[in-house]
Structure 1
Amino acid sequence: MDYDDQVKNRMKRIEGQVRGLLKAMDEGKDCRQVVNQMTAARNALDRTAALIVSRNLEECIREEKESGGNSEDHIKDAVNLLVKSR
């Protein structure tokens, strides 16, 4: 699977969030601020994972249709992958 610039940019933003978290910890910021930033980073990772899985699933289903195959297994795999990621 090719990862386009949109996905890579999302990951760069998440990287920046994590660096900001480390800086906040080094500066002794309030627990609430740190945990809020952790939650934001985790949510961004979850959304990015969902985007990657959905794009991959779309690609797999398209290929299955072209070859006359059954896409049920791909759908189950995608759902399991998303559940596992949480």
Structure 2
Amino acid sequence: MSKKTEEMNSYSEEKDELITRLKRIEGQVRGIQRMIDEEKYCVDVLTQVAAAKAALNKVGMTVLRNHTHGCVREAVSEGENGEEIIDELMSVISKFTN
């Protein structure tokens, strides 16, 4: 199975839910832009930024979980270089958590 196919399979079951969440986040970000344009109270803007950030983190965790249980598990079971796979996973986790 090609890497691109593996990546698509890792979250295909939740694809519709992820797309819905991302569209909702997109709307939140547009709302934040509008709030700033309208010079809304800073605390209200920050509250919305925190909500959008939390929603985006949830999407990221879903993709990361599916990657780990799908792509990583499959690569290890197929006997690919385990150290390389773990290094790649740790790199992704590091990028995601910073």
TM over 0.5: yes
The residue aligned with 1:50 is: 61
Matches within 5 A, 1:5-84: 5-60=16-71, 61-65=73-77, 67-69=78-80, 71=82, 73-84=84-95
Report the number of matched residues: 85
Higher relative contact order (CA 8 A, sep 6+): 2
User: 2 CA distance for matches of 1:73 and 1:7?
Assistant: 28
What is the aligned-residue identity percentage? 32
- Structure 1: gaps spanning 5 or more residues: none
- Structure 2: gaps spanning 5 or more residues: 1-6
User: 2 CA distance for matches of 1:31 and 1:58?
Assistant: 40
- Distance change (3 Å), C-alpha of 1:39 and 1:45: same
* Paired residues of 2:32 and 2:48 also in contact (CA < 8 A): yes
User: 2 CA distance for matches of 1:62 and 1:33?
Assistant: 44
Q: Deviations over 1:15-36 (max 9, x none)?
A: 0110110111122110001011
What TM-score comes out, normalization by structure 1 length?
Answer: 0.80
User: 2 CA distance for matches of 1:37 and 1:12?
Assistant: 15
User: 1 CA distance for matches of 2:87 and 2:16?
Assistant: 27
